[in-house]
Amino acid sequence: MFALYQLSEEHVAIREAVREVCNAKVAPNAAAADETSEFPQASYDALRASDFHAPHIPEEYGGAGADALATAIVIEEVARACASSSLIPAVNKLGTMPVLLSGSAELKQRYLPKVASGEGMFSYCLSEPEAGSDAAAMTTRAVRDDNHYVLNGVKRWITNAGVSEYYTVFAVTEPGIGAKGISAFVVEKSDPGVSFGAPEKKLGIKGSPTREVYLDNVRIPADRLIGEPGTGFATAMRTLDHTRVTIAAQAVGIAQGALDAALDYVKERRQFGKPIADFQGVQFMLADMGMKLTAARELTYAAAARSERGDADLTYFGAAAKCFASDAAMAITTDAVQLLGGYGYTKDFPLERMMRDAKITQIYEGTNQVQRIVMARQLLKGVI
């Protein structure tokens, strides 16, 4: 697929390097990770060895210093090979973004080098059993006790929970005032009182564990507060403006993998004496798939550019990219399964896995119904 504009030589080189790593050391693990529902450690090791596990970490903290577009390209290419593995760089960005946006210099220096080196991954704990789309309704509490905070509560749908060493946790520090009473903290896996639920049994992305995180009188130093008290919810929303772009990139990658597999198949599969790629009905399906994918990629890259610059219209573009790309990924993977007929419905080919993986991109980091609300509000404000 071609972009409407020319990517820099650096971005092209990053794509080529990630694709080489993924073809050799990530794609071979994808089916097994899905079948066993186990974290693809070999894929993590390969990404870590190549500095693709958390490419967004700035160079001053030992990271690769990739910009938002380069990070999106990394996630896209990993997702093309294995959607579960693409959540390694994506969730590392999600978990650390609050620290990057609002954390103190000391907090950044304490944790970001560890993520950059691969010493530990970073997860994001916002949702709760009764606080999903309505995240401000959370009940997890953080009570100040001298130079510490004591956290109690349950976080649900936490990606890479139990594997990650570090967690950005949002909790109520001042009850009764809604979103303005929420603060953000860094919690470590090793902190006494931190435990995890059983892995969720999911439709897709099975190689990325999703668990509840339990906080039972977790006592942490007050200097692990991210930003000022009461600013946590604003930090959470600013984070999602940036990281919805990564979900769009993941969706684009899944869709590209599905289109690639479908193209290979229709050129080889013969019916009525010729390749099924010669039939106009098949060609129309391929054209629609390619058109949707190209549009999704262009919108995702446009959103990534705004993420890097911190543009005022990032909220709109992040929501639009995530919504459009995930809807496109679901449509493209479904059509890819259809093009393979009965074979597409079997695990002999990767399309059924890609179709299952694509579905979650329409749900997490805000459902696509929520994204449409976000976009509409930005339009009504006159931001766009």
**Residues 179/233, Cβ–Cβ less than 8 Å:** yes
Active site residue 365: yes
Residue 196 vs residues 145, 160, 200, 241: alpha-carbon distances, Å: 25, 11, 11, 28
Question: What proportions of the chain, in percent to the nearest 5, are helix, strand and coil?
Answer: 60, 15, 25
Residues 331, 337, 340, CA angle at the centre, nearest 5°?
140
- C-alpha to C-alpha distance for 129 and 143, rounded to whole angstroms: 21
Active-site pick, 76, 77, 352, 365: 365
Q: How many residues does the chain have?
A: 384
**Residues 125/194, Cβ–Cβ less than 8 Å:** no
Report residue 195: phi and psi, to 5°.
Answer: -145, 175
76 SS3 class:
helix
Neighbours of 23 (CB within 10 A): 13
Task: Identify the CA nearest to 142 among candidates 178, 175, 113.
Answer: 175
Q: Is 264 exposed, middle or buried (0-12, 13-18, 19+ CB in 10 A)?
A: exposed
Q: Classify strands 166-172 and 122-125 as parallel, antiparallel or unpaired.
A: parallel
Dihedral sign, CA of 232, 238, 240, 243?
negative
Neighbours of 313 (CB within 10 A): 13
Which residues are known catalytic residues? 365
